[in-house]
Amino acid sequence: MSSRLDRLRQKMADAGLDGLLVSSPVEDTFGNVGANRRYLSGFTGSVGHLLVTQEAALIAVDFRYYEQAQREAPGFTLFPASGPLPEWFASLVGEAGLAGKKLGFQASDITVATYQTITKAVKDMPAAQRPKLLAAPLLVEQLRATKDADELAAIERAVDLGEEAFADIAQRIEPGWMETQAAWEIEKYIREHGGEGVAFEIIVAAGPWSAMPHAYPRDERIQEGQPIIIDLGVRLAGYCSDLSRTLFLGQPDEQFDKIYDIVLTAQLTAEALIRKDMTGEQAHLLAHNVIAETGYGENFGHGLGHGVGLQIHESPRLARASKDVLADGMVFTIEPGIYISGWGGVRIEDMVVLEDGRARVLTKAPKSVRREDLAR
């Protein structure tokens, strides 16, 4: 964690900040939104604030988390935060030596209500002790976009478990199963084989329902002769994976084969041609142009991909108008799709890491609609 703090401190200096407050917008009961706090400190509790300066690193938690914070964040000094924030915030700022200095906060880390509480707490301080509150750039998110070796190893373990879960369901799913039943079988497999849980609510969408990219599983029976999109993610050691495959129970018809081949060609093209220093938009267009040339451009309405790490959606973003610049060490998805209202959809999604300027595909699951291939 010390190297992460060193890099953060350099970014803080570049941004002209003397301190940075790192929190989460809501209580992080499910481990979904406290990623910045965990990335810097290792602390996995649901509530807490970090305050980092060039000389100090403080973790402010209440009584419930004193021991946990000391165990998980040994590089941080424990600050007992008893009671509402206004009762201890001035002491925290004082201990960090930020009187009259620039204290940054990340807008994505706090709610409007929390911001109002902090600003009032600052105004209530004696003038000489007040820090100057400033909205900071997304400093921690910028650091998190590039994974180190330990992070990549954790992600690859999550990828492997996700593929095992998919192979299991692909072997067993049958016409007549409920979409919710299939989703539960996937989640159960993940839980029973060492996963902390799912990275997001699993998608199992059959037939016309699969025309919605973020469809939710229903108590509807899967029928033979329909496309089925399965999109699943694993959370393991805090890190996420993301995998989508589209299968067909029965003999695929001509339209399905046509749509599937277009999506697969778009995905393989992007995986082969993405390079570091591209923008997210340039990467997106590699796949989008393939689909558009076949006349289905308007049926691919979402971005090509997104970063994956402690959160299922993080930097970089691969989509139209994305100015994110791709760099070695970034892990992200490549997931083009075509969605036709009244018929259904096809999406194929892999995870990749940029290494030596090119994308190395982390996902090994076969890209076939045939049960015997998908289940191997």
Q: What is the pLDDT of residue 30?
A: 82
| pLDDT greater than 80 at residue 329 | yes
Residue 48, token pair as written in the block = 């807490």
Residue 82: how many CB atoms within 10 A of its CB? 10
Task: Please identify, among 95, 110, 144, the residue that sits at the C-terminal boundary of a domain.
Answer: 144
65 and 169, same domain (yes or no): no
Counting the structural domains of the chain, the total is: 2
Task: Please identify, among 120, 144, 168, the residue that sits at the C-terminal boundary of a domain.
Answer: 144
208 and 118, same domain (yes or no): no
pLDDT, the chain, mean: 95
Percent of the chain with pLDDT over 70: 98
Task: Please identify, among 112, 144, 176, the residue that sits at the C-terminal boundary of a domain.
Answer: 144
pLDDT in tens, 120-171: 999 999 999 999 999 999 999 999 999 999 999 999 999 999 999 999 999 9
Over residues 357-364, mean pLDDT? 98
286, 291, 293, 294: CA torsion to nearest 10: 160
163 and 103, same domain (yes or no): no
Domain containing 214 — which CATH number? 3.90.230.10
- Which residues lie below 8 Å from residue 149, measured CB to CB, with a gap of 6+? none
Domain that holds residue 157: 149-374
pLDDT in tens, 228-271: 999 999 999 999 999 999 999 888 999 999 999 999 999 999 99
203 and 318, same domain (yes or no): yes
Q: Which carries the bigger pLDDT value, residue 193 or residue 32?
A: 193
Over residues 313-333, mean pLDDT? 98
| pLDDT greater than 50 at residue 104 | yes
CA pair distance 365, 349, nearest whole angstrom: 10
Domain containing 33 — which CATH number? 3.40.350.10
pLDDT in tens, 2-29: 899 999 999 999 999 999 999 999 998 8
104 and 191, same domain (yes or no): no
Beta carbons of 320 and 284 less than 8 angstroms apart? yes
| pLDDT greater than 90 at residue 189 | yes
226 and 316, same domain (yes or no): yes
115 and 66, same domain (yes or no): yes
Residue 341: how many CB atoms within 10 A of its CB? 10
pLDDT band at 373 (very low <50, low <70, confident <90, very high): low
267 and 335, same domain (yes or no): yes
82 and 208, same domain (yes or no): no
370 and 221, same domain (yes or no): yes
pLDDT band at 374 (very low <50, low <70, confident <90, very high): low
| pLDDT greater than 90 at residue 376 | no
User: Residue 197's beta-bridge partner residues?
Assistant: 235
220 and 119, same domain (yes or no): no
Residue 87, token pair as written in the block = 């009762």
Q: Is the pTM of this model over 0.75?
A: yes
99 and 180, same domain (yes or no): no
